[in-house]
Amino acid sequence: MQKFLINKEALNADKAVIHGQDAKHICKVLRLKPQDAISMTDGHGTDFTGCIDQVSPELVQISILSEKKSLTESNLDLTLCTAMLKHNKMDEIIKQITQLGVTRWIPFYCKRSIPLSGQNREKKQIERWQTIARESLKQCRRSSLVEIMPPMDFQQVLVFSKGCSHRFAFWEASDRPLSGPVPGEDNSAVVLIGPEGGFEEEEIRRAAESGFMSYSLGPRILRAETAAVCACGLIQYLLGDMGGC
């Protein structure tokens, strides 16, 4: 069954309410009725089951029956940093990495990234990305929203990454294959993916100085969005919840 995202404010002891498009969807499309069961999440790792009390296209009122910590979240705190690409590619990345259990996403500017001009433009983009993340969460039944960070410059990304125990920079000129690193005490990882034009060598050198190892994704050149998805899947396999190790 589809999982609905409810805000903390819409959650009150043993009651919850759903408004807006979701209420309309529940009423008109799913045609749920009083007494029907419904699954929900707060977007911060907790799931709820509930029973519908009242339905209208504007408002659904629910009694919460049970609450549990989600089983869909990885034990790995995984941050993906991608150089700024064209809009539709960024949208696609958010959809895919939500499915792959990524914890947070940092878009960044570097020498060859695509610029996003104007402060307002950035604010609008972030809102749009957050909407995509919410929709993607419902589809894949996750319980934690991907945290979307405001765009950073490359130096800020390097500073942020100091807090992560495993640091992977994917670089097409690297000949180091990815193979199972031993998880550190703190199971966190950060992944760097460059722009379509690639990283400049100088950027890879600075990343290395900040504790990144550069890795290859094989002999073919992948599109940045393919590389991002592929890298997150492989790392979730090595250190998170997509493999048997």
Under rule CB under 6 A, residue 221 binds ligand SAH: yes
Q: Which of 48, 50, 23, 25 is nearest to 36 (CA)?
A: 50
For residue 134, the minimal CB distance to ligand SAH (Å) is: 27
* Residue 183 exposed, middle or buried by CB count within 10 Å (0-12, 13-18, 19+): middle
Name which of residues 189 to 208 contact ligand SAH (CB under 6 A): 193-194, 196-199
Token pair 């570097």: residue: 110
Residue whose CB is less far from ligand SAH, 158 or 224: 224
For residue 168, the minimal CB distance to ligand SAH (Å) is: 10
User: For residue 20, what are its two tokens?
Assistant: 């807006």
Residue whose CB is less far from ligand SAH, 34 or 197: 197
Under rule CB under 6 A, residue 218 binds ligand SAH: yes
What beta strand segments (E) does the chain contain?
A: 3-5, 11-12, 15-19, 37-41, 46-55, 59-69, 77-83, 104-109, 147-148, 152-153, 166-170, 188-193, 213-215
Distances (CA, A) of 137 to 130, 143, 146, 210: 11, 7, 8, 32
For residue 141, the minimal CB distance to ligand SAH (Å) is: 29
Residue 113 DSSP SS3 = coil
Under rule CB under 6 A, residue 85 binds ligand SAH: no
Under rule CB under 6 A, residue 105 binds ligand SAH: no
Name which of residues 164 to 183 contact ligand SAH (CB under 6 A): 170-172
Q: Which of 78, 114, 84 is nearest to 237 (CA)?
A: 78
Under rule CB under 6 A, residue 224 binds ligand SAH: yes
For residue 83, the minimal CB distance to ligand SAH (Å) is: 7
Count interface residues toward ligand SAH (CB under 6 A).
Answer: 17
For residue 187, the minimal CB distance to ligand SAH (Å) is: 23
Binding site for ligand SAH (CB under 6 A): 170-172, 193-194, 196-199, 216-218, 220-222, 224, 227
